[in-house]
Each structure stands twice: as C-alpha cells, then as structure tokens.
Amino acid sequence: MKYYVFIILFSCSVAFADNTPTSITARACVDGTHKQPNGVFAIYVFCDDALGTNVSIFLKKLGAPLSGKYALGKRFWQDKEWSNDVTSYVWLKDKRYLLLATSGIYGSGSLYLLNLEEQTSTVLYQDTSASLEITSIKGDFVTLRYETTIGNYEQKIVQINI
C-alpha cells in the first residue's frame, strides 16, 4: 500500500494541545482507554482488526450535580459518522474539543472537530475516497496524511473558524 503525504492546513482559534497526535490505525492500535491529559474525558479504542479501529468518547468522572449530555446511565458518546474506522486523534488545549480523523474504507474519510461537552461534531474536511491521518500539529495548523485509492492526489487548504 502506497502512502502519499499531502499537507492540508487548517487554521482555527482553538489552540491545539502540546502533545503529538495519536495514531490508532491497525498497525498502531492499542485497545482500551486513552485518557485526555489533565482532563475529564477519555477515548475507548476498539482494535477491530479487518473492520478498522472504532472509538467511543466517555466522561471519566461525572461529578455532582449532574448536568449536560452525560449522566450515570449515559457516560459514553458514540456516533457512527465519526466513530468508525478512526485513524488518529489529538486533544485540544481547552479540553472541550477533540480533533479526530477517519478512513474512507469503513468510516467517512473525514477530519472532525468534536465538542466533547455538547456532543456535537463538525466536519472540517471530507473525502470519502480517502484515508486521512493526523500526522502533526504546528501552531494552529494540522498536517494530514492523505491516501486515496482512485489516484486523484492534490493538496487541500481549508481555513476553519470556530
């Protein structure tokens, strides 16, 4: 399988975390809980072999009083649109957002911005014929590995305002 590296730049007003993106493709997948650094959220990663890597977001500690979208019986948030065939993710500094990329094989071939508190997702970039993987963060810009099976390779530049 060939990989072609294209730089896709995204600029936004929410600063990225200082840590590097986490790859959870089949070759790098680690089952289980991936905790948000110094935060209350976590990702549960399911390494499903040939079915890709699938994820669910959860709130580690609810606290009291309970409010918002999470409750004792509803700690997990999973949506087929963004949780199937995930390749990589990175936590954002303000702890309310997560940047997540998916493959177009069993997933949507998209880069998502997830609002963890509100349980909403925003598509920042999509190409259903591609597999996207977050490879680096520099300031407010994201570099993606962009692989497609149809042979149509080009650089994409999109500006994001959050």
Q: Could you report the per-residue pLDDT of 117-160, keeping only the tens digit for each? A: 999 999 988 888 888 888 877 766 787 887 776 555 544 444 44
| Token digits of residue 132 | 């996207």
Closest CA to 81 of 46, 106, 61: 106
For 3, 94, 162, the CA distances from 48, given in Å and listed in that order, are 22, 30, 33
Residues 6+ apart with CB under 8 A from 30: 24, 45, 47
> Mean per-residue pLDDT for 6-25?
61
Q: For position 114, what pLDDT does the model report?
A: 96
Confidence of residue 98 (pLDDT cuts 50, 70, 90): very high
18 pLDDT exceeds 70? Answer: no
Cα(130)–Cα(134) distance, integer angstroms = 13
Q: For position 152, what pLDDT does the model report?
A: 53
Q: For position 9, what pLDDT does the model report?
A: 47
Q: For position 7, what pLDDT does the model report?
A: 45
Quickly count: other Cβ atoms within 10 Å of residue 51's Cβ: 13
Residues 6+ apart with CB under 8 A from 22: 34, 88, 89, 90
Q: For position 155, what pLDDT does the model report?
A: 44
Higher pLDDT, 71 or 18: 71
Its pTM stands at 0.82
User: How many distinct helices (H) and strands (E) make up the chain?
Assistant: 1, 11
Per-residue pLDDT tens over the stretch 40-85:
999 999 999 888 999 999 998 877 656 678 888 888 999 989 999 9
